[in-house]
A and B are shown apart, each in its own frame.
Chain A
Amino acid sequence: MKHWFFLFLATALLAGCSARTVFVADVDVLSFISAEQLENDLVIPGSIQAFVPDADDNLTTPDGGQLLNRLPLLEKLSAFAVQVSVEVENTGSGTLDVSSEFRLAPVGDDKDIYDGVDDMKLAEASFHLAPGSKDTITLTAELEKGDPAMRLITNEGFRVGMKIKALGTSTAHYKITDFSLLLKQRPFDLIPDNGH
């Protein structure tokens, strides 16, 4: 996806660019997700798995997650950070054990980004939720240059998604309250090395 090249070129030339200069893309993923996918009610008959954002119109089946391919991305990324927060409320009468994980996958992994094939788990968290109570899970992950997960992010884009697993018999309401990405790239990393 060469689309962002013009923008980078214009910015780098007009603003000045040096070995130290880092381009930071601060992406508000939340704004790309349609409102009806941001929150939902769940009936939990003992155990349930939910996959958000829901890409296949069935919340409880694994899917390709959220494709992010409209980002200002260059060939090589020098750092990546993500933060997702989900608010879960136990609206029923039984207690719930909630766990969640955040996954990153390449563009081509469009069927299932939760099966460990091509994709990777970046963060996980879990908590216990009593009836009537509400809690927020926040998942964060930071990747540096050289991290194996970094190869999943190319200038074609990448996929992200979260699996929420609840154990217990109750009903729940979840709402994604924050979903942001920080991509750092150094334009000088694009200059090829030579033998010296």
Chain B
Amino acid sequence: MRRILLLGLVFFMFGLSAAQSVRSLGMGGLLLPGPDAADLNPAYAAYPANRYGDGAGFTLPLGLVNLTLRPSVSPFYYFKDRKIFKDNFDALAFYDQLIHFNEFIINPPSSPEEIVFHVSADGLTITDGAGKPLRLNRFFPQTAPSASLPAPLFQFHIPSGIPGLRIALGGFLQSAGFGLTPDDQLVSDLASGNLKPNTLYTLHATGSLRGGATASIGFSTPLPSIPGFNGHIYTGGQIRSFYGLLYADTIVTAQTTTDSSGAPGPVKYSSNSFYVYPGKGQGWGTQLDLGIALDYDKGSYGLGISNLVGVQRWYGRRLVTDTSGNIVTDEPATIMKSGFHPGIFMNAAYLQPTNGGELLLGADIRLGVGGSWASGHVGAEYRLAITRLRAGMGYDNGLKVGLGAGLVFPGFHADLALTSHSAPYTSQIVFGLAASLGVSF
């Protein structure tokens, strides 16, 4: 079981690291029109590959530097040198570096220096050192689109020999929803005033992980040119399928009941997990995506609808433990997702020649139908000879800003990005550095 947990952790880290290319980070998270976006819009499979520049390279896991060496971030000092750990470790800095695994965090966020519990016969109030109430909802789990198939972590394209026919095999690993959720009562009572007497308070720790192999087959083709219209329209569709090897979805609940004076009673823990791992269960799923893209003059515009029809099934086990630590349930269980849960992806780019160079402007939007999640980015890239300068911003689980630079040589490109995000709880602006190396054939 320990080996599986460790394996899960390693995959979790790689899953995080592969989330975005460094070029994209430098443009605030923007995903440009082109074959790199074919998973979200199948029409891009037949799109000219280098219309807007080179694809993603290999992102270096720079976060490892902090996670292994920096005393405020690295948990390894707990084993290596307990004194360094006790004098330096910061849980917030560690969490923030872990969820930004592909960046070297330059200024890790720091936890508050003082948390003040005001105790009187009237009850309890909690504030930070400056007397301000704590804003606890910043640590809520970040939600990810879960109805669609996760984006592949790595993917090999198999040459089909037929123009527009895309066959890809790959693997996926998606971790989402890692976080803590206090119940509404706990949030409002901790933040604004007193714990109430004779009240049940609960705190949920959640996390989920999915992994497996993917296969996609898609066809995209330019439509015949329309007389009098100077642009090209591409349409495409694809079927994406997966075979699932790993699934873990866990909720651990801590709860306590306050007594008549508002003081918390003993803490009880319960848990509810669904799990699949190699040898114990499996999963499969398939979905249909459609897309259309327009290439007109100096710009490109695309619309992709994913998971128009889809089904996912996971056969695993459900393990439930109660507050006394007894196993209440440990039995085979099935998770099924089907129905109409499409996701919409729109993006656009515009390439404007300038004095001696070129300016690339782009924007993208992703939406879950029903409005359960949304993200969007705008970005720009200035190109002069082998140099690339980039900037952008986006909203994607919070505001994100990026600055980037790149060098493009024949057959080789290197990229660097400076990104920023706001830290959980403290909202400190945190800067991170990401780098990648790419080879073009």
CA distance A10 to B191 in the complex (A): 12
Pick from B72, B90, B120, B180: contact of A13, CB under 8 Å: B180
Q: Of all chain B residues, which has the CB nearest A23? A: B115
Residues of A within 8 A of B201 (CB): 6, 10
CA distance A189 to B83 in the complex (A): 11
Residues of B within 8 A of A194 (CB): 82
Given contacts A2-B267, A26-B118, contact A16 B111 (CB under 8 A): yes
CA distance A21 to B139 in the complex (A): 17
Q: Is the CB of B90 within 8 A of A16?
A: yes
Q: Is the CB of A31 within 8 A of B120?
A: yes
Residues of B within 8 A of A15 (CB): 111-112, 115, 128, 134, 136, 425
Pick from B93, B95, B186, B263: contact of A3, CB under 8 Å: B263
Q: Is the CB of A196 within 8 A of B117?
A: no
CA distance A43 to B139 in the complex (A): 60
Residues of B within 8 A of A191 (CB): 78, 82, 85-86
Name the residue among B116, B264, B425 with the largest chain A CB count within 10 angstroms: B264
Residues of A within 8 A of B261 (CB): 70
B297 on interface, CB distance cutoff 8 Å: no
User: Chain A 15-45 against B: per-residue CB contact (8 Å), 1 yes, 0 no?
Assistant: 1111111111111100110000000000000
Q: Is the CB of B267 within 8 A of A6?
A: yes
CA distance A92 to B13 in the complex (A): 78
User: Chain B 77-92 against A: per-residue CB contact (8 Å), 1 yes, 0 no?
Assistant: 0101111011111111
User: Chain B 94-122 against A: per-residue CB contact (8 Å), 1 yes, 0 no?
Assistant: 01000000000000011111111111111
User: Chain B 55-95 against A: per-residue CB contact (8 Å), 1 yes, 0 no?
Assistant: 00000000000000000100000101111011111111101
A48 on interface, CB distance cutoff 8 Å: no
Name the residue among B78, B87, B119 with the largest chain A CB count within 10 angstroms: B119
Q: Is the CB of A6 within 8 A of B87?
A: no
Given contacts A19-B88, A20-B110, contact A6 B118 (CB under 8 A): no
B398 on interface, CB distance cutoff 8 Å: no
- Is the interface on chain B under 10, 10 to 19, 20 to 34, or 35 or more residues? 35 or more
Number of A-B contacts (CB under 8 A): 149
B195 on interface, CB distance cutoff 8 Å: yes
Residues of A within 8 A of B85 (CB): 19, 191
CA distance A2 to B265 in the complex (A): 8
A9 on interface, CB distance cutoff 8 Å: yes
A11 on interface, CB distance cutoff 8 Å: yes
Q: Is the CB of A7 within 8 A of B264?
A: yes
CA distance A55 to B288 in the complex (A): 76
Q: Is the CB of B190 within 8 A of A10?
A: yes
Residues of B within 8 A of A25 (CB): 116-117, 119
B111 to chain A minimum Cβ distance, whole angstroms, is 3
A117 on interface, CB distance cutoff 8 Å: no
| A-B interface, 8 closest residue pairs, ranked by CB to CB distance from nearest | A16-B111, A16-B92, A18-B90, A31-B121, A28-B120, A18-B111, A31-B120, A6-B267
What are 15 pairs between A and B in contact, CB < 8 Å? Answer: A7-B117, A11-B126, A14-B134, A14-B139, A14-B180, A14-B203, A15-B134, A16-B424, A19-B72, A19-B86, A26-B118, A31-B121, A72-B124, A191-B78, A193-B82
Enumerate chain A interface residues (CB-CB to B < 8 A): 2-7, 9-28, 31-32, 70-72, 188-189, 191-194, 196
Seed contacts A13-B139, A20-B90, A191-B78; 9 additional CB < 8 Å A-B pairs: A5-B267, A14-B134, A14-B136, A14-B203, A15-B112, A15-B134, A16-B90, A24-B114, A193-B83
